[in-house]
Structure 1
C-alpha cells in the first residue's frame, strides 16, 4: 500500500508540475515599454497663440540662457526664437523690437521662393529642368539666344545661371550678361528672382497672389513682399518666420496637409550642383567638406558652421537674418536684427559663435 501511495503521489506531482508549466507558458510576455514621442506641434492658423515648453522640461542648461540672450542683445539682435518640436522654448525681443514689429528677411527669404517653386512644379505649372525662356520668353538677358537657352529654372535656384555677378543684383536684361555657360559656375546673384516671374507667368497670377494662396495663408503667416531697389524682399514678424521654419522642419507638411512636396524639399536641402556642395536650392547646408561664399570664387575647406550640428541647414540673409533647422534635435531657430558685426551678405563669424552658445544651452 505504501508503495502504491508513493507511486500515486509521484503521478499527481508530475501532473501538477505540467499544469503549472503550461499555465506559466500561457502568461502574457512581459511588455516592453513603448516610448511615445511627443507629436510635432503646429500653432493655429487663425490665431497668434502658440504652445510653449520649458527649458527644465527639456533638461537643458537653464543657467546658459541669460548669457546667450546677453550675447544676442550685444550683437544687435532684435528677436530670437527657439522651437522644439514646434513649441516655443525661447522667445525674446530686444533693442526696441516687439512681437508685432515687422522686419526684413533679406536673402533668408530666398527659401520662400524655393518653397513656392516646389509647389508650382507639383501642380505641373513649371518644370525645374526646363529653360527659363520657356516661361518668360527670350531676351530676358543680354546673352546670346544660344547661351540664354542654357539657363534652366534649376540654375536659378542653384545659383548656377552663369550670368555675371560682378554687375550687381539688377535683373533687367542689360544687367544680366553672360559670363560662363549655365551649370559651370556657382555665383550668388539676384537673378534667382526670375523664378518668381516664371511662376507668375505659368500660373496666370501675380507672384504675390500665388505665394499668398499656396503658402503664406495656408500656414498662418503674415507679412508682405516689398520692392526695395532691385530685390523683392519679404517682411514679417518673427513668429511668421518661425512658422515657415516649422513647415520646412515638418518635411513640408502643416498638421496633416502636405503643402510642399517632401521629395522636392529633400532635393532642395541637399547639394544640387557639383561646384558648391554646401548649397541646395537657395538653402545653405552644414556638414559638408567644402563651401563657397557670396562675392568670391574661392572654395573653403571645412564645414559651413563648425559649431552647429552636421545635419543643420539654414536660410541666411544680409545682416544676419537666420533660419536654422536641425532635424536631429527637432529644432527651429530664428534670429532677426541688424548685422552682428560688419555688414555681410549671408554667412558671418557670428553664426559659429552663436552656435557655440546655443550648444551650451541645449547640450
Structure 2
C-alpha cells in the first residue's frame, strides 16, 4: 500500500492529498488503514493496562506454511488463505504458547486494531464478573435495571434474552438499507457526522426509540448489535462506572495486558460495547488464553469459570443453520459468544470484515485473525476460517 495507489491515505509528504470521507471511514477501501488508526478518526476512551506484570506468551514457533485445507474456492495453504482475505494480524496459540504470529498490511505488534463485534464478547466477559458478584441477575427483567425502557420494546424482556439476542425487539441490522436502525446507530455512536437531525444523536437515544416488538421475547435468535449496548448500560447503572473503566479494572489490568486498549465514544461519552473495542494482536491472544484457561491468569480467577462454561451449555439454546447468522451449519449463540456446534467445546468471537477469535479449550488451541476484508459479512469467509482453524488445530496436536 502506498499513497500513489491510495491517495486518501495520510501521507506526510503530501498534506494536500484527498481526505478520508467522514461517513465512510469504516468501509472499503479506507478501512485497510483506518482499522489500525481508529482514534485518529473518532473520539475514544483509554482502557488502561495498569502497572502490573504482563501475562507471558511463551513462544514455540512451528512452520505452518505447509498446512493446507479445503476452502470454498479449492485447496489452500495457510499463507495463500491469509493473503487472499485481507489479513492484518494472525496468531496461533497451542498449549499456552505462540506457534505462529504474523503482521500484514502495516500492522505492528504495538498497534491496536478495531475488533468490531469481538467487542461484544469482551463486554460479556466483564458482564459475567458482575453476575458472579451478584450485581446483575440474568433472570431479572431488563427494566429492573433500566426502568426507562418500560416505554420500549424491551418491556417484559429478561436480561438473559438480551445476552442471547432473543428479545423480540424490532431492530434492523442492515448496513445498506437507507434509514435502517444500523445506519442510525452509525450516527448515534459518534462514528459519523450528525447529518440526519431527526436521527438519534447518542446510543441511549436510539435505544429509547426502539418501541416496537416484532415477536415474543425468547422466541427466536436474531442478531442485533444494540443488545450489547443495553447490557453495557445495565453494567454502568449497577456499578456507577463507565464501560472503559470497567473493562480496565475487571479484565485488562488483572489479565495482564501488555498495552492499553481503547474504545470509541458517542457524543454523550458512552463507549460502544457492540463494536468499538481496539487492542493489539497479542493482547487479543491473551484474552483468548485467559478464556482457554477457564478464566484464570496469574494464579487468580478473573472471569468466572461457570460463565465461560456457559458458552457451550448450548443444549437449551437455539441451533441455527446457514440461513441465519455466521455460516455455522450447527452453530448457536449464547451470552454474546458464538458456539460452533452443540457437541463441540469450541466457542468463538466474530467481527465484521473478518475479525475472529477461535477457541477450543479441550485442545488448548486458539486462532486469532484481524482483517479488513472487502465485505462486512461473507459466508465463504467464515467457512474458510473454520476449515483453517480445524487444520491448524490438527497440526498443533503433533507439533
So what's the TM-score if we normalise by structure 2? 0.66
Distance 2:150 2:315 in 1: 24
- Could you tell me which residue of structure 2 aligns to residue 262 of structure 1? 305
- Could you tell me which residue of structure 2 aligns to residue 182 of structure 1? 217
- Could you tell me which residue of structure 2 aligns to residue 342 of structure 1? 375
Deviation, structure 1 residue 103:
0.8
1:226 aligns with 2:264: yes
Q: Match for 2:87 among 77, 81, 99?
A: 77
The answer as to whether partners of 1:102 and 1:238 remain within 8 angstroms in 2 is yes
Of structures 1 and 2, the larger Rg is shown by 1
Deviation, structure 1 residue 62:
6.5
The answer as to whether partners of 2:357 and 2:369 remain within 8 angstroms in 1 is yes
Distance 1:214 1:343 in 2: 31
Question: Residues 8-157 of structure 1 correspond to what in structure 2 (within 5 A)?
Answer: 46-47=53-54, 50-55=57-62, 63-64=66-67, 67-139=77-149, 142-143=152-153, 148-157=154-163
So what's the TM-score if we normalise by structure 1? 0.72
Deviation, structure 1 residue 176:
5.0
How big is the alpha-carbon RMSD for the aligned residues of Structure 1 and Structure 2?
Answer: 2.8
Distance 2:99 2:53 in 1: 21
Counterparts in 2 of 1:257 and 1:160: CA distance versus 1, 3 Å = same
- Could you tell me which residue of structure 2 aligns to residue 313 of structure 1? 347
Bigger mean CA offset, 261-270 vs 348-357: 348-357
- How many residues of Structure 1 are paired with residues of Structure 2 in the alignment? 291
Flag structure 1 segments of 5+ consecutive residues without an equivalent.
1-43, 290-309
- Could you tell me which residue of structure 1 aligns to residue 5 of structure 2? none
Distance 1:114 1:318 in 2: 18
Counterparts in 2 of 1:50 and 1:360: CA distance versus 1, 3 Å = closer
1:208 aligns with 2:244: yes
Deviation, structure 1 residue 353:
4.2
Counterparts in 2 of 1:153 and 1:198: CA distance versus 1, 3 Å = same
Q: Match for 2:341 among 287, 308, 311?
A: 287
Query: Secondary structure at the residue paired with 1:165?
Result: coil
Please list the CA deviations of residues 13-43 of structure 1 after superposition, one character each: whole Å capped at 9, or x if unmatched: xxxxxxxxxxxxxxxxxxxxxxxxxxxxxxx
Query: Secondary structure at the residue paired with 1:235?
Result: strand
1:168 aligns with 2:206: no
Deviation, structure 1 residue 87:
1.3
Query: Secondary structure at the residue paired with 1:279?
Result: strand
Please list the CA deviations of residues 97-130 of structure 1 after superposition, one character each: whole Å capped at 9, or x if unmatched: 1112211111112111111111001111111111
- Could you tell me which residue of structure 2 aligns to residue 14 of structure 1? none
Distance 1:193 1:124 in 2: 20
Query: Secondary structure at the residue paired with 2:278?
Result: strand
Deviation, structure 1 residue 232:
4.9
Deviation, structure 1 residue 47:
4.0
Distance 1:345 1:204 in 2: 39
The higher-RCO structure (CA 8 Å, 6+ apart) is 2
Per residue, is there more helix in 1 or in 2? 1
Distance 1:141 1:281 in 2: 25
Flag structure 2 segments of 5+ consecutive residues without an equivalent.
1-50, 69-75, 173-179, 186-205, 320-330
Counterparts in 2 of 1:139 and 1:67: CA distance versus 1, 3 Å = closer
The answer as to whether partners of 1:158 and 1:272 remain within 8 angstroms in 2 is no
Distance 1:62 1:337 in 2: 19
Deviation, structure 1 residue 49:
5.9
Please list the CA deviations of residues 246-284 of structure 1 after superposition, one character each: whole Å capped at 9, or x if unmatched: 111111111310111111221133327543361121111
- Could you tell me which residue of structure 2 aligns to residue 242 of structure 1? 285
Distance 1:48 1:115 in 2: 17
The answer as to whether partners of 2:315 and 2:342 remain within 8 angstroms in 1 is no
